[in-house]
Structure 1
């Protein structure tokens, strides 16, 4: 891992997420890029405008006023992190937050995106999800989503790898095994057999493949039946609290649904645990 992109929005969601960013940057000796996305202000017909109104004009004056403020905040944070011994760069972009983060990650060849996830405080947020869930759906590299309602400590002692056991996951699981060993963390696997999800693959064979990738030591695998995937997670997490939950899926629709709390209010329980999302490609 060479480059970590950290989404700094300077809200409460930044604090704990930044601790995780520092943890990974220190461990992998990676460059930490602090990205702040300055959203284009809504059009205001009483102020000078620029741009094509038909395409969505923006208030150029307000954008110009905010730019030096945001740059100063980024520089201040970068200076602080460099004083802590981290290699740090800054990046200021404009536009829609999700689009800007995903594009920046591609442009910078980021190996990992780390972003905070704020409390889902209103109906609209519960219905459409947050910017963090949008990044997790669309990014082309792994994304670590850190909730504001976590333990308050960035640590990696226990890792839970969640798998549907419906397709091969050698690349993703191998990376997680390497991460667990690098941090000296305990790794376990969770499979939830849900009534609303297909069950096609040979489960014993899939588990044997994971064990082969894990090595000679027995791999702890938990399987449970549940009406829904989210319900299964809720049941498991009542008595198990890993430091990190790892999820991977080839089907973006399934991943989107799993990360979107609108599926069930009970899914919000997962926001207490940082979630590392892998896609079909992406290497740590």
Structure 2
């Protein structure tokens, strides 16, 4: 049985991400852990009141969050009627990234699903949001970021962008292989060719990736390099009508470079497709 952590702020955007998670698991038994952090709200409020009153405020916040959880569970259970999916709720006063990281380390969590919001969807991922903190700090579980405009349906075409800088462990590909097994989408592996990388190195890394994928069918697409790698990827995603982008996160990865550079203006192409970040650390 899969166990998925889904943070929520009880917004429509967060609900869309939750619904997307259930569609991925429509034929599977699963347990979804709904998580809400009231750390920001509580810290802002307690800074303006006496310490002695903080316990009362904490209890009030807990009651409000529980009411929100009750409403959320009623809605999602109605929308997933007939599916073998259970829901549990957790609330915390800790920062969301710390709490989920602890949950991933202490309990078996297969992956994290989180909504993103903003004018360009995944733009928020690269602007120091909750999502990017989770992607960077969670070491043991993949993170699936769902833009608010994403279609709530299983993927039909997956683009897996790899830089071939380091081998990808077979266990790091487990979730991708599971999605392929469940939904049988087309898998398009892409690499933006860099002349600085020896051909022998790229070839060996590609063979290692194919071996790690096992019997999963895929096609390989070599993309010509340019000054803006995100623009090349943008064009390819549009050309193939991809509905899920997969990247790996390690210290020298393409994704890590996006975290470090001001490329927000070039990320509009991500606005409607989910991003799955596999862990390879």
Residues 216 and 89 of structure 1: is their aligned pair in 2 closer, same or farther, counting only changes over 3 Å? closer
Contact 1:194 1:229 in 2 (8 A): no
Residues 16 and 126 of structure 1: is their aligned pair in 2 closer, same or farther, counting only changes over 3 Å? closer
Where does residue 70 of structure 1 map in the other structure? 65
**Whole-angstrom distance in 2 between the partners of 1:272 and 1:8:** 19
Where does residue 146 of structure 1 map in the other structure? 146
**Whole-angstrom distance in 2 between the partners of 1:92 and 1:257:** 33
Q: Secondary structure at the match of 2:98?
A: helix
Contact 1:19 1:154 in 2 (8 A): no
Name the Cα RMSD after superposition.
3.0
- Does residue 11 of the first structure (1) align with residue 11 of the second (2)? yes
Q: Secondary structure at the match of 2:90?
A: strand
Contact 1:17 1:146 in 2 (8 A): yes
Alignment of 1:162-181 (within 5 A): 162-171=161-170, 172-173=172-173, 175-181=175-181
**Whole-angstrom distance in 2 between the partners of 1:126 and 1:176:** 20
**Whole-angstrom distance in 1 between the partners of 2:255 and 2:176:** 18
Where does residue 197 of structure 2 map in the other structure? 199
Where does residue 24 of structure 1 map in the other structure? 24
**Whole-angstrom distance in 2 between the partners of 1:216 and 1:46:** 59
Q: Secondary structure at the match of 1:89?
A: strand
Unmatched segments (≥5 aa) in structure 2: none
* Pairs aligned (count): 269
Alignment of 1:224-235 (within 5 A): 224=223, 225-235=225-235
Unmatched segments (≥5 aa) in structure 1: 51-57
| Cα deviation 1:106-155 (Å, max 9, x = unaligned) | 3332111000011168xxx68742101111111120110101132x3222
Contact 2:180 2:216 in 1 (8 A): no
TM (normalized to structure 1)?
0.81
Aligned-pair CA distance for 1:178:
3.9
Where does residue 210 of structure 2 map in the other structure? 211
TM (normalized to structure 2)?
0.82
Where does residue 50 of structure 2 map in the other structure? 48
